[in-house]
Amino acid sequence: MKNQLEAIKLLKDWSTWLVTVQTGVLGLFGLQGKTLNDLTLTCFIISIVIATFILGALPSILQRSEDDSNIHQMILFEWFPAPLYVAAFLQHILFIIGVIYLACSIK
C-alpha cells in the first residue's frame, strides 16, 4: 500500500503542477490582452479538465486499491470507466501539444 500512496502523491503533484502552469499561461496572456491560438487554448482547457477528474479520483482509487494492485490500471470512477493511465496520458499529451503550439505561435 505504501507504493500506491507514493505513486498517488507523485501523480497529484504532477497534475497540480500541470494545471498551475497552464492556468498561469492562460492568465498571463489574458492580462496582456493577447489571445492564444485555438489549438493551444483547447489543449490546455481539456488537459485542465482531465486533471480535475484525475485529482478528484485519486482518493477513491486509493481506497479501492489493494496491496498488490497497480493503481494506473484502476478506473477513475464507477460512472467513468477510463483507466487512470489513459486519463494521465491524455492530460500529458494535451499539455505537450499545447506547449508546442504555444511556442510555434509566439512572435
Global pTM value? 0.90
Q: What digits encode the pLDDT tens for the residues 10-65?
A: 999 999 999 999 999 999 887 887 778 899 999 999 999 999 999 999 999 999 88
From the number of C-beta atoms within 10 Å of its C-beta (0-12, 13-18, 19+), residue 18 rates as buried
Non-local CB neighbours of 87 within 8 Å, separated by 6+ positions: 50, 53, 54, 57, 76
Non-local CB neighbours of 12 within 8 Å, separated by 6+ positions: 55, 58
Cell readout for 60 is: 477513491
- Return the residue matching grid coordinates 482547457: 45
